[in-house]
Amino acid sequence: MLTNPQFAAPAAIQTFTYEGTPVSFAKGNDVMVNATEMAKPFGKRPAKWLELPSTIEFLTKLKAIRKSDRLVESINGVGTWLHEDAAIEFARWLSPEFSIWCNDRIKELARDGVAVINDDDAVIAHAMQVLQKRLDAKTQQVQILQGENEHLQLENKALAPKAQYTDEVLQSTSTVTFTEVAKELNFRSATALINRLLNERVIYRQSGRLLPTAKYSGKGFFTSRTHRFYHTDGTPDASVMTVVTQKGRAFLYNYFFGGRAAI
């Protein structure tokens, strides 16, 4: 199995929709299917299927028969792609009905065809579209945060007794919650992301708090955020939660997409 930054042959992208989820097919000498998009409706990951002994055996025999190394490929930020034969096998693991749907789409491409673009322009263009959407989302988040900051600064001047609390809120714009990061990394929930990091010993739980393990301690990836509140009887209190810094946000993105199997 090879993991290359680009497809080795010219390809063009055509997107079909399965139960509301877009699935991209790249037509070149062979059809390659975006396995990351395939797995999304089923809450699964291609990496899990690729680890199975039955999958390793299947891909080994498929490589020998097809005499091709282009069975599994990965593009950072876009996902894992599978050769059409492997994609059908992967789809069968996800759902028999989905496998039939994928097979029909591959036959449709073989019958109708799509315009072929030289030098992998289609794959690169698709990757750029995905990355542009993420950039636009980040830009929108920054604009929202800037607007919130301006509003909080005005409140801070007008409400001197609450200055300490306002400062803490302003500081929180440099951190994000696990819920926000989980959405960006396409995890089903913050719990799923946290469990993954616990299993891979990036963080550990102590006295109800999430802390970085020795390997990642002191790198500034995680910090704590104090939330002050009042009980119904008016008694002040505070809770401490672990959040992800902007440095940690970049680290987690590279951890899951920087050369590793896509989610």
Residue 189, φ and ψ in degrees, nearest 5: -160, 170
In a domain, 72, yes or no: yes
pLDDT of residue 28: 79
Could you tell me if 253 and 166 lie in one domain?
yes
Q: Confidence band (pLDDT; 50, 70, 90) for 182?
A: very high
In a domain, 109, yes or no: yes
pLDDT of residue 226: 80
Could you tell me if 20 and 100 lie in one domain?
yes
Domain count, the chain: 2
Residue range of the domain that includes 191:
160-257
133-146 per-position pLDDT tens digit: 667 777 777 778 77
Could you tell me if 25 and 113 lie in one domain?
yes
Mean pLDDT of the chain: 79
pLDDT of residue 96: 94
Could you tell me if 17 and 116 lie in one domain?
yes
Could you tell me if 105 and 22 lie in one domain?
yes
In a domain, 37, yes or no: yes
In a domain, 4, yes or no: no
Could you tell me if 167 and 247 lie in one domain?
yes
Could you tell me if 167 and 241 lie in one domain?
yes
31-52 per-position pLDDT tens digit: 899 999 999 999 999 999 999 9
77-125 per-position pLDDT tens digit: 778 999 999 999 999 999 999 999 999 999 988 887 653 433 344 455 5
CB 145 within 8 A of CB 38: no
Could you tell me if 118 and 166 lie in one domain?
no
Could you tell me if 188 and 115 lie in one domain?
no
Could you tell me if 168 and 104 lie in one domain?
no
In a domain, 110, yes or no: yes
**Which residue, among 24, 42, 41, 29, has the nearest Cα to 105 in the 3D structure?**
24
In a domain, 145, yes or no: no
Could you tell me if 36 and 86 lie in one domain?
yes
pLDDT of residue 163: 43
For 209-262, the DSSP string reads EEEE-TTTTTSSSEEEEEEEEE-TTS-EEEEEEEEEEHHHHHHHHHHHHSSSPP
In a domain, 147, yes or no: no
Beta-carbon count within 10 A of 47 CB: 16
For 26-87, the DSSP string reads EESSSEEEEHHHHHGGGT--HHHHHTSHHHHHHHHHHHHHHT-STTEEEETTTEEEEEHHHH
Report the pLDDT averaged over residues 219-238.
81
Whether 23 shows a pLDDT value over 90: the answer reads: yes
Among 102, 122, 142, identify where a domain stops.
Answer: 122
**End-to-end Cα separation, the chain, in angstroms:** 18
pLDDT of residue 199: 95
Whether 64 shows a pLDDT value over 60: the answer reads: yes
pLDDT of residue 3: 45
Strand ordering across the sheet containing 72-75: 12-18, 21-27, 31-34, 79-83, 72-75
Could you tell me if 118 and 189 lie in one domain?
no
In a domain, 171, yes or no: yes
233-255 per-position pLDDT tens digit: 778 877 788 999 999 999 998 89
Whether 132 shows a pLDDT value over 70: the answer reads: no
